[in-house]
Amino acid sequence: MSRRLPRPLARSLLTLVLLVCSAAPMAACGSGTPAGTTLSVLASAELTDLRPVLDELRRDTGITLQLEFGGTVSASDLLGSGRADRHDLAWLSSDRWLRLNLKAAGGTGAPLSTRTMMSPLVLGVKRSTADRLWPSGGERQPSWADIAGAAERGQLRYAMTDPNVAHSGLAALVAVATAGAGTGEALRPEDVAQDRVRGFLAGRTLAAASTHALVDSYLDHQTDTDAVIAYESDLLALDGDGRLREPLDLVYPQDGIVLSDYPLLLLDPAKRAAYDRVLAWLLAPAAQKKIMRLTLRRPVDPTVARDPRLERPIGNALYFPDRPEVVQRLLAQYEADTPATATGPSRPPAPSRTEEPSRAPAPSRTP
């Protein structure tokens, strides 16, 4: 025989339950994701700057993201190879190369993917160099063809990541080759071997395996390096930290931009509930604002007011190749034409794991 609780006591118990749920992590009450969940994440190396965001994510949801860092291109090679992977999620600067790898391997489909933030690839060039090469007072942005031409003539010595490892280097190669082909479409195999790409690579004098490492290396070689090809977010942060001997002007090439949108990918379908919970938190306006303030990446939520430094239009988006062999040929040409004098490591150390929250189909345009 059941007993009915007195109404005052029932109301008190209900109030207590509501208080516990509101004070506990969001994942603990009705989400299907138990508090204390840990997800292993294969992440692009530049995401080391998200430590405070992931600490707050853990406090609010009870979910810990355990990040193992590596290069975006090398991570995409691993995930697209068909070999078993032990990670629950991947968080890459871009998944375009991964999608091509999966297509080449005959995969049935790409993992569920949702973009979380954005940053365009740009050229940060010393102000004195910009005034010498493109004396237009900023009225006309140079093109990738202009940049490649200056490098070929020996007038521009720049730093760029290894495109075999990092997406920023691969994106720069794609941009120069696409602009040089002049077709207005995705690169074809016959577009790859061109003088424009060879001339561009002649100016690369500084190398690194990740964007953050490249920026640090540039700081050590400011005297003999004119420019850095990197993400807008990294160059804006560098401009504000007082370590530059000469300001860098940001060039947004007028013939097209390659945009990284940092998708979060679900590798293990059994972790879908936790993945959805993490995404809901990351895409909420409060988290988007925090990511923007901390990393200077652009929010994907159009309702979030942008930092004034991020209000500049980024122009047209360039096509990314839609055939794996095009990228493979481009990387082979890079290996053949890169000057042997480039300074700095071009291969990363083994992926590093943080034990605590730490810091394609038909041709598609980048968002």
Residues 61-88: tens digit of each pLDDT = 999 999 999 999 989 988 887 665 789 9
Residue 20 scores a pLDDT above 50: no
User: Any residues with CB less than 8 A from the CB of 110 and at least 6 apart, and which?
Assistant: 95, 98, 99, 102, 265, 360
Mean pLDDT (whole number) for 198-227: 93
pLDDT of 362 above 50: no
Angle CA 217–221–226, to nearest 5: 105
DSSP secondary structure of 30-56: SSSS-TTEEEEEEEEGGGGGGHHHHHH
Residue 276 has pLDDT above 60, yes or no: yes
Task: Please report the pLDDT score of residue 19 as a whole number.
Answer: 33
Pairing outcome for strands 352-353 and 158-161? unpaired
Q: State which of 220-229, 308-317, 332-341 shows the largest mean pLDDT.
A: 220-229
pTM, to two decimals: 0.82
Q: Which long-range contacts (CB under 8 A, 24 or more apart) does 128-131 make?
A: 128/246, 129/156, 129/226, 129/227, 130/249, 130/251
Q: Are 367 and 115 in contact (CB under 8 A)?
A: yes
Q: What is the DSSP letter of 79?
A: H
Residue 228, phi then psi, degrees to nearest 5: -135, 130
Chain mean pLDDT for the chain: 83
